[in-house]
């Protein structure tokens, strides 16, 4: 039976691996065209973080307009993008922190703090987008916020989870480094007269 406690090197790489997963989901959200899509046929509307596209029921070509012409579009893109850039920086810092033999736990806690900042920026972008999109862009038919928007939220949830783990990890420094000393429980002769 193989047991992987916190002290083994393989388990130390789980948090940077999760940050890498959040980066991949963030890339999909930034590049995906499925932030908003028509829910059923005819598929006449789709949007990304960067543009909104519509077409007629019989038309095969999409007519796209940039969301960067709107202040809220620039704000949503900027906040999500700033959060993504800080996430990439946190990933690099986490790889460095877990690569050295003796972890610097104040450094790890700082990464956790930065990850909370990442989550705040991403949440702001993910909330601005649907609220202002539905107010300013005329929607045709039944629409839904779709897979790329979902990847944005999934990335944010992973970041929040990693932030908690990075902030709490220094509390278990001895367990992570394998410095646990055995604890012995014994009674003094004054307290246990039957041992005499």
**Domains of the chain from N-terminus onward:** 18-171 (1.20.140.150)
Per-residue pLDDT, 51: 92
pLDDT at 5: 45
Residues 40-73 pLDDT 10s: 777 888 888 999 888 877 777 888 899 899 999 9
pLDDT for the residue 106: 67
**Contact between 83 and 76 (Cβ < 8 Å):** no
Give the CA-trace dihedral at 19, 22, 27, 30, to 10 degrees.
-130
Where is 130: in which H helix or E strand?
A: helix 105-136
Cis amide bond preceding 42, omega within 30:
yes
Band of pLDDT at residue 89, cut at 50, 70 and 90: very high
* Whether 55 contacts 63, CB under 8 Å: yes
Instruction: Burial-class residue 129 by CB neighbours within 10 Å (0-12, 13-18, 19+).
Output: buried
The predicted model gives 22-26 an average pLDDT of 96
Encode pLDDT of 94-142 as tens digits.
888 877 766 666 688 889 999 999 999 999 999 999 999 888 888 877 8
Between the CA atoms of 190, 191, 192 and 196, what dihedral angle is there, to the nearest 10 degrees? Answer: 0
Enclosing H/E stretch for 45: strand 45-47
Over 60: is that where the pLDDT of 181 sits?
yes
């Amino acid at each position: 039976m193989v047991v992987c406690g916190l002290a083994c090197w393989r388990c130390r790489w789980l948090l940077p691996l999760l940050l890498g997963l959040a980066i991949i989901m963030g890339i999909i959200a930034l590049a995906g065209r499925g932030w908003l899509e028509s829910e059923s046929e005819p598929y006449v509307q789709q949007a990304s973080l960067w543009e909104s596209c519509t077409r007629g029921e019989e038309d095969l070509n999409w007519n796209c307009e940039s969301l960067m012409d709107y202040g809220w579009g620039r704000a949503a893109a900027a906040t999500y993008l700033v959060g993504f850039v800080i996430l990439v920086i946190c990933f690099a810092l986490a790889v460095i922190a877990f690569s050295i033999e003796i972890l610097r736990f104040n450094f790890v806690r700082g990464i956790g703090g930065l990850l909370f900042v990442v989550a705040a920026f991403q949440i702001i972008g993910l909330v601005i987008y649907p609220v202002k999109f539905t107010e300013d862009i005329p929607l045709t038919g039944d629409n839904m916020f779709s897979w790329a928007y979902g990847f944005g939220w999934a990335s944010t949830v992973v970041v929040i989870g990693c932030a908690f783990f990075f902030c709490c990890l220094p509390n278990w420094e001895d367990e992570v480094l394998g410095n646990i000393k055995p604890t012995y429980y014994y009674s003094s002769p004054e307290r246990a007269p039957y041992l005499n």
